Chain A
């Protein structure tokens, strides 16, 4: 089992959506959650405080999820932060782009609490396996 206290940043421009994801995270035991309403605010938050995990939406104004992901991977301080991308449909080209940009995994809306837990565990497991 992983640290239930790890700090997660939920990024989505639709506040209802952030609330839903926060609730699902709470359901699977993660309560240390902060939120941001688009990529650029997320990046600011990531730079000002330490986060252990990022769950971001794909389609957002100003700075979409994919740009956020690229920015994270380019930042020497942040580049190790695991990122889970939330997409609305498993459009192949999206997934391909995201993987090329270094996403840790993706999940398709709407998802269940179990599915989200599955993905988070998978990411953390994989990270543990690969020494950094």
Chain B
């Protein structure tokens, strides 16, 4: 096509986005199809997706894509017309070709110019086609259609007589340089001769168009633009915080009470609008979790087949919405969990029957909102994990001593699986059991301010639950003072604050701990740990901020509590990136820069020195 090149780029980007969406939803449909092979509606849907992609790919000159989609479409066409039936072999071939289409689409996206070997899949699909061809006899036109057929032929003839026609040449649809018949060239001249439409009719047309109402329900926006808006909204939050702070100070000191109260009204209004704006922008970035969930039916099917296990995947709450970034970060951890469930958790059908369970196991993947958090869980009714077995394995691997193991509660024992290097699989399969799974899961989830909970019962199964924030952009923080510096602690991790004196802090084995009610917690002196400043605080009262990450608890000793603030976190930049215990910085209402603690990082430091 001879469109301007930036227009062409735009169209290609559109195509990539639209085609990937279509392909993503296909996996789910294929699994459903395998359950209901006779569902014509579903088959039509699937056929249409492939068909549409082929159509657009043809225009855009993606030849490989056309070849693969073409033969896939042929097979699907036979399926939907009932000329062939869906069986596992056909399904495997179609799934394989859809995978290849995805690879080709990715090549287009990356503009890497790579050519995939399409011959294998084309051959196997053509084989399926020709096998079914044998049953096909040539069909004669139905009598009532004969007249129409005749007219169709005339149409065809007319079209062919008048100039360059596409049909057979369709694939080589290059710029319009085909042989010109005299008629076509006169037509072209006419275009030139035609007076340009005057401004008036054009304006009228425009108006008409607006009245006619080309109302698209949604538009695609580049994620960078969205992030820019989000960033600006964040800045606005900061300015609002600062104004609110100044406003309340002014009320205390100013003489002109009237003016101040007017200003405060204005600020209150700004506060309201900013909150709404923040929410609106946040919503723009929200996507249904189905985006991640959708790839699992296919994965579970493939894994179950590979492992000769019988598993049904039950998905619920896929319409739950989450921030795009959270969704992207969630993919890998869920893949690990599902693989573990299929590989370790689920028994073989024979084992299940022997244990008095139904032959077919169930893995359920669910999501729902709970307050400001989204809860995502993966549960299976497999063999479950034995705390004793995990402890033994951890001791064998030298991850902890027998004494330590003996002291662990069952819950803590289960949490051992999150330690790097831990893997209980007796044999390493190609799916999981390489000991690189669960610790990565934990790191990823903590990175997006989420927490993990694990629940397992021998013989009954295992449930792993993530609690995730709705958004990453704006966080509620507790601001505290330690060693003369102010820090922000993400409120989602704070369990409680307790006022203490120095004498409440005890030393056990040279390590500082605090007893709160009947439990003992490690204590981190924030001032010393982060800035190295010894507290110059004069008052005898201090505060312990009790932090909970998953099942872990520890106390942070600070000099003073400031209050709660909504903050927009900024990264520390290249120079200070990776400072342990610091997640980023932000500007507070009074215009100061404060550091935001990375509690997952702090927890690691605490675990190293306290070995708990």
Do residues A112 and B148 form an inter-chain contact, with CB atoms below 8 A?
A: no
Q: Which single residue of chain B is at the shortest CB-CB distance from A98?
A: B152
Do residues B56 and A16 form an inter-chain contact, with CB atoms below 8 A?
A: yes
Residues of chain B within 8 A (CB-CB) of A110 are 55, 58-59, 166, 170-171, 173
Q: Does B197 count as interface, using CB distance less than 8 angstroms? A: yes
How many A-B contacts are there with CB distance less than 8 Å?
149
User: Bound state CA distance, A48 and B194, in angstroms?
Assistant: 30
User: Bound state CA distance, A118 and B47, in angstroms?
Assistant: 30
User: Bound state CA distance, A23 and B12, in angstroms?
Assistant: 13
Given contacts A1-B190, A96-B145, contact A61 B48 (CB under 8 A): yes
Q: Which residues of A contact B (CB under 8 A)?
A: 1, 4-5, 7, 13-17, 19-20, 23-24, 27-29, 32, 34-35, 45, 48-49, 57, 59-61, 88, 90, 92, 95-100, 105-115, 117-119, 121-122
Do residues A1 and B18 form an inter-chain contact, with CB atoms below 8 A?
A: no
Residues of chain B within 8 A (CB-CB) of A17 are 52, 55-56, 59
Do residues B149 and A96 form an inter-chain contact, with CB atoms below 8 A?
A: yes
User: Among A15, A106, A115, which residue has its beta carbon within 8 angstroms of that of B164?
Assistant: A115
Residue contacts A-B, CB under 8 angstroms, 29 given: A1-B187, A1-B191, A5-B197, A7-B208, A7-B209, A14-B55, A17-B55, A20-B59, A23-B11, A24-B1, A28-B191, A34-B214, A49-B213, A57-B55, A59-B47, A60-B48, A61-B48, A88-B51, A88-B54, A95-B156, A99-B151, A105-B159, A107-B166, A108-B170, A109-B170, A110-B170, A112-B166, A118-B165, A121-B187
Q: Quick one: CB contact mask for B211-230 with A, threshold 8 Å, 1 for yes?
A: 11110000000000000000
Given contacts A61-B45, A112-B164, contact A13 B152 (CB under 8 A): no
Do residues A34 and B159 form an inter-chain contact, with CB atoms below 8 A?
A: no
User: Bound state CA distance, A71 and B209, in angstroms?
Assistant: 23
Residues of chain A within 8 A (CB-CB) of B145 are 96-97, 100
Measured between C-beta atoms, what is the minimum distance from A33 to chain B in Å? 9
Do residues A119 and B56 form an inter-chain contact, with CB atoms below 8 A?
A: no
User: Bound state CA distance, A97 and B141, in angstroms?
Assistant: 11
Q: Which single residue of chain A is at the shortest CB-CB distance from B18?
A: A16
Do residues B187 and A117 form an inter-chain contact, with CB atoms below 8 A?
A: yes
Do residues B184 and A111 form an inter-chain contact, with CB atoms below 8 A?
A: no
User: Among B141, B167, B191, which residue has its beta carbon within 8 angstroms of that of A90?
Assistant: B167
Within 8 A of A (CB), among B1-34: 1-3, 7, 11, 14-15, 18-19
Q: Does B202 count as interface, using CB distance less than 8 angstroms? A: yes
Given contacts A35-B214, A122-B162, contact A1 B194 (CB under 8 A): yes
Closest 3 CB pairs of A and B: A110-B58, A49-B212, A100-B148
User: Among A5, A16, A48, A106, which residue has its beta carbon within 8 angstroms of that of B205?
Assistant: A5
Residues of chain A within 8 A (CB-CB) of B574 are none
Do residues B170 and A99 form an inter-chain contact, with CB atoms below 8 A?
A: no
Given contacts A1-B190, A23-B11, A88-B55, contact A99 B155 (CB under 8 A): yes
Do residues A114 and B54 form an inter-chain contact, with CB atoms below 8 A?
A: no
Q: Does B137 count as interface, using CB distance less than 8 angstroms? A: no
Q: Which residues of B contact A (CB under 8 A)?
A: 1-3, 7, 11, 14-15, 18-19, 45, 47-48, 51-56, 58-60, 141, 145, 148-149, 151-152, 155-156, 158-159, 162-167, 170-171, 173, 175-176, 178, 184, 187, 190-191, 193-194, 197, 201-202, 205, 208-209, 211-214
Do residues A14 and B178 form an inter-chain contact, with CB atoms below 8 A?
A: no
User: Bound state CA distance, A32 and B7, in angstroms?
Assistant: 18
User: Bound state CA distance, A19 and B13, in angstroms?
Assistant: 12
Residues of chain B within 8 A (CB-CB) of A59 are 47-48, 51-52
User: Bound state CA distance, A121 and B181, in angstroms?
Assistant: 15
Residues of chain A within 8 A (CB-CB) of B171 are 110
Do residues B209 and A34 form an inter-chain contact, with CB atoms below 8 A?
A: yes
Q: Which single residue of chain B is at the shortest CB-CB distance from A51?
A: B212
Measured between C-beta atoms, what is the minimum distance from A19 to chain B in Å? 6
Q: Which single residue of chain A is at the shortest CB-CB distance from B60?
A: A20
Residues of chain B within 8 A (CB-CB) of A108 are 166-167, 170
Do residues B155 and A105 form an inter-chain contact, with CB atoms below 8 A?
A: yes
Residues of chain B within 8 A (CB-CB) of A35 are 214
Given contacts A1-B193, A14-B52, A100-B148, contact A115 B165 (CB under 8 A): yes
Measured between C-beta atoms, what is the minimum distance from A77 to chain B in Å? 15
Do residues A119 and B159 form an inter-chain contact, with CB atoms below 8 A?
A: yes
User: Bound state CA distance, A52 and B33, in angstroms?
Assistant: 42
Residues of chain B within 8 A (CB-CB) of A13 are 48, 52
Given contacts A14-B56, A17-B52, A118-B184, contact A96 B173 (CB under 8 A): no
User: Among B170, B187, B209, which residue has its beta carbon within 8 angstroms of that of A32?
Assistant: B209
Do residues B1 and A23 form an inter-chain contact, with CB atoms below 8 A?
A: yes
Residues of chain B within 8 A (CB-CB) of A7 are 205, 208-209, 212
- Known: A4-B197, A110-B59; 6 extra A-B contacts, CB below 8 A, are A16-B56, A45-B212, A57-B55, A109-B59, A112-B164, A119-B159
User: Bound state CA distance, A51 and B148, in angstroms?
Assistant: 27
User: Bound state CA distance, A96 and B58, in angstroms?
Assistant: 24
Among B59, B151, B165, B197, which residue has the most Cβ atoms of chain A within 10 A? B59
Given contacts A5-B201, A16-B18, A90-B167, contact A118 B159 (CB under 8 A): yes
